[in-house]
Amino acid sequence: MRFLGLLSFLLLATPATAQKDSYTYKSDDPNGIGKWYMGREIAHVMGFQGMFWLERPERETEERTTRLLENMEISETNDIADIGAGSGYHVFKMAQLAPKGTIYAVDIQDEMLAALKIKKEERKVANVEIVKGGETTVNLPANSVDKVLIVDVYHEMNFPVEMMASIKAALRPEGKLYLIEYRGEDPKVPIKRLHKMTEAQAVKEMKATGFQLEQNIDNLPWQHCMVFVKQ
């Protein structure tokens, strides 16, 4: 009976549960929250006060945002979630590319959601849905999206295991996750260390939550464009 009880426990202990237990805490970098996951300190969230930086006119030149959207191969019927959508820099461009689909603009900050609402109303965009996410969930229905876009946000998620489980549930079986992060391997990228990620670190963390790297499209000036699919 003791053996059967142990076996039942092992069957119920999922990989996600094991990863939750791996969060550790120590202070190291003023740009971090003192919480670590798989050898990486989680960075502070960029507050709504940095909204102007998201909308800076030189962003296209610095990041080639048009090329990023081309990498996503968006079809007119795609349903797409932008996680950490901010003020909607990518959201409304994707809405034009997928007029018969739905773009879910997910953010956790009320000020960002307010900015999204204003833009949606001013531009009279019908296929954008604004969603308030949480620290552990994106608050999207299961199997609701074909593509997920996460631009320079994953490294700031306080609960990456739980968030990725929520994203995985929302992504359709053949869906794709586009993880965009400033290249941690390149010291010339002018971004603070904790706000960058290496491909190796991203692959390690995504694998732990049930995703595998399909390709890393190496055509952006500063960022990885990593495409993940469900394992």
Concatenating the DSSP letter of every residue in 114-127 gives HHHHHHHHHHT-SS
- Let me know if residue 196 belongs to a domain: yes
Helix%, strand%, coil% for the chain, nearest 5: 35, 25, 35
pTM: 0.90
Work out the pLDDT band at 52, boundaries 50, 70, 90: confident
Work out the pLDDT band at 21, boundaries 50, 70, 90: low
The full 3-state SS of 15-46, as one line of letters, equals: HHHHHHCCCEECCCCCCEEEEEECCEEEECCC
- Let me know if residue 141 belongs to a domain: yes
- Let me know if residue 166 belongs to a domain: yes
Q: Using DSSP, state whether 93 is helix, strand or coil.
A: helix
The tally of domains found in the chain comes to 1
State the DSSP code for 61: H
State the DSSP code for 220: S
Range of the domain at 161: 45-230
Give per-residue burial for 56-75: e unless 16+ CB within 10 Å, then b: eeeeeeebbbeebbebbebe
For 72-115, what is each residue's pLDDT tens digit? 999 999 999 999 999 999 999 999 999 999 999 999 999 999 99
- Provide the CATH number for the domain around residue 205: 3.40.50.150
- Let me know if residue 66 belongs to a domain: yes
- Let me know if residue 40 belongs to a domain: no
For 117-131, what is each residue's pLDDT tens digit? 999 999 999 999 999
- Let me know if residue 212 belongs to a domain: yes
Nearest alpha-carbon partner for 52 in 108, 128, 112: 112
Average pLDDT of the residues of the chain? 91
Q: Which two tokens stand for residue 36?
A: 């670590």
* Dihedral (Cα; 189, 192, 197, 201), 10-degree rounding: 130
> Does residue 13 have a pLDDT over 90?
no
